[in-house]
Amino acid sequence: MSRLIKQINFPADLRKFKKNQLEQISEELRDELIDVVSETGGHLGAGLGVIELTVALHYVFNTPKDKLVWDVSHQCYPHKIITGRREKIRTLRKGGGLSGFTKRTESEYDPFGAAHSSTSISSTLGMAVAKKLSNNNNNVIAVIGDGAMSAGMAYEAMNNAGALKSNLIVVLNDNDMSIARPVGAMSKYLAKLLSGKMYFSLRETVKMVISAFSKRFSQKAGKAEDLLRGIVTGGTLFSELGFYYIGPVDGHDVNNLVQIFENVKNSNHQGPVLIHTRTQKGKGYKPAEDSGDKYHGVSKFNIATGEQAQKKANAPSYTKVFAETLIKHAEQDTKIIGITGAMPSGTGLNLFEKKFPERTFDVGIAEQHAVTFAAGLATEGYKPYAAIYSTFLQRAYDQVVHDVALQSLPVRFAIDRAGLVGADGPTHAGSFDITYLSTLPNFIVMAASDESELVKMINTSVHINDRPSAFRYPRGNGVGIKLPSINETIEIGKGRIIKEGKKVAILNFGTRLDECKKASELLSKKGIEVTIVDARFAKPLDEKLIMEIATNHEVLISIEEGSIGGFGSHVMQFLSDRGVFDKGLKFRSMILPDLFLDQDTPEKMYEKAGLDSLSITNKIEETLNSNIILAKNRSKFNN
């Protein structure tokens, strides 16, 4: 049998095939996806679950003129394969390659960039309104998962869409929450009927007729329609939000999906429509189907066995160190609570939950709620730990400010994935938390330079009962040193001297400490001995220690894995207020560059960011020689 998928480079090619060929195309696309991700790693289970949905959507709708937006978009690999990117698909998540998420600059078939959850309905509603204002009749479709439906933003958007009566199609990809009963033959038939042009017309006609008669007749007619639709739909919530609800339908029956999408596309219905599909994450690949996480995120793997390539680590991951340390404290302190937003395994709280299920709360993709929920617990004397990725904590900044900091509530923020994260790229990088937390009164902001320091910071946070605190740590493994006991703490606002030298001092905040040590070794060979300080705290600063090194060295370099406005900015402000720069101190702040860095290996990303050992070495030499360079420049200018 010839491979049909090879003939499809763009959706226009797909639409040339007959409907009875779509099942074969779907199976071939599934096979190709498995083959690709076995080489690249990445998100597999979600893509396997939307194969038929992807084929049906591109077959029926005229993309890219019709706008198709994938929520979160970790399910977008099949979409990328058939939208002109097959030749580059094996560069997925690599430096210079395709993004693991939809990206506007990558393709016209990606009308909205994603990677954070629950944005699709809001963005497509904006597109739908724009099209209406422009007298454009093209379709706008959002595909959102049941997990993303746990976020309030999705309901805010649906409420607005219903009120505006915008022509918007939302496909609910339900693969886990069992929102409705399993799909059966009768529900399939009625879903087709309810999506048909005749039913849309009949429905509107009935409304017009009954409006001319008594209220009593109107109520009976309305109940009759609700009864008909209620047999299978269960869509009361969506209907109340103003959506015409269709479903549930089998999300793996490609021909049925095509007919339903065609019915909706060709109807004269005015207003938003929600099509509820039921799918299976990991569909069609047995190792994924049998896995607990359905191969949501995988490394390279053997297709025949499903066995994933595992890197040998000489040290535990920072995430695991956090989880195991918190467990030890929770064994002694019944007030400790673990909170996460749909990321129990990503944050290590799945380990905590095994020991303390009654003290673990996964609130779903709802970071705003998570933070204020934690604040409420804190008011009652509990010790909540909100374990949230840096990039996702951004979504709850108002709650951090108003509900936590303003009230000095002792919520503890365990900030995972701090700094650059590699293959997941700029959408998942933890670049801004130092800045957006250090500006807040009443906050304690810490960064671990290694796994031992992380343990000490967790230990310290247990005893902070008068204000909020945060400790940040990166993705990946520690450096391989012995961990302290849970009794070892750090004095609030106190750094530590790692190495003493002359003329030059490095003030490090976070896990660039190893790179600072390497830079020191390179400089030592050139006769430059460097003082290295691990600051530990961005807030409060160790003012005494910073003043000491600032007044005893010619050059002071601050280093952090964060954006402008963070640790280095606070150090500069402090030194400026003390008049230190008037005495000739040469200060430089090394931070992440003012741009979003594309995915690559973490090592290459930090090299591009200028935060590797060679960049630190060059910055120090350049600063030491700045007077000579300045004099030469002045001489050239005067001549």
Answer yes or no: are the C-beta atoms of 524 and 530 closer than 8 Å: yes
39 catalytic per annotation = no
Please pick, among 93, 281, 417, 475, the residue that the annotation labels catalytic: 281
Give the integer Cα–Cα distance in Å for 499 and 507: 11
Answer yes or no: are the C-beta atoms of 196 and 166 closer than 8 Å: no
Give the integer Cα–Cα distance in Å for 305 and 303: 6
Give the integer Cα–Cα distance in Å for 158 and 122: 8
Per-residue DSSP letters for 349-360? HHHHHHH-GGGE
Interior angle at CA 520, CA 516 and CA 522, nearest 5: 120
| Distant-in-sequence, close-in-space partners of 208: CB < 8 Å, separation ≥ 6 | none
Using the Cα atoms of residue 373, residue 379, residue 380 and residue 381 in order, give the sign of their dihedral. positive
Answer yes or no: are the C-beta atoms of 587 and 620 closer than 8 Å: no
Residue type, 404: V
| Distant-in-sequence, close-in-space partners of 16: CB < 8 Å, separation ≥ 6 | none
Helical (H) or strand (E) element with 269: none
281 catalytic per annotation = yes
The CA-atom distances, in angstroms, between 440 and each of 312, 489, 563 are 40, 24, 16
Strand residue runs (E) in 109-158: 140-145
Please pick, among 103, 395, 456, 539, the residue that the annotation labels catalytic: 395
Please pick, among 32, 52, 353, 367, the residue that the annotation labels catalytic: 367
Label residue 118 exposed, middle or buried (CB < 10 Å: 0-12, 13-18, 19+): buried
521 catalytic per annotation = no
Give the integer Cα–Cα distance in Å for 398 and 116: 17
Label residue 611 exposed, middle or buried (CB < 10 Å: 0-12, 13-18, 19+): buried
292: left (phi over 0), alpha (psi -120 to 50) or beta: alpha
Give the integer Cα–Cα distance in Å for 539 and 537: 5
Give the integer Cα–Cα distance in Å for 414 and 347: 9
Distance between start and end Cα atoms, the chain: 78
**Catalytic residue list:** 281, 367, 395
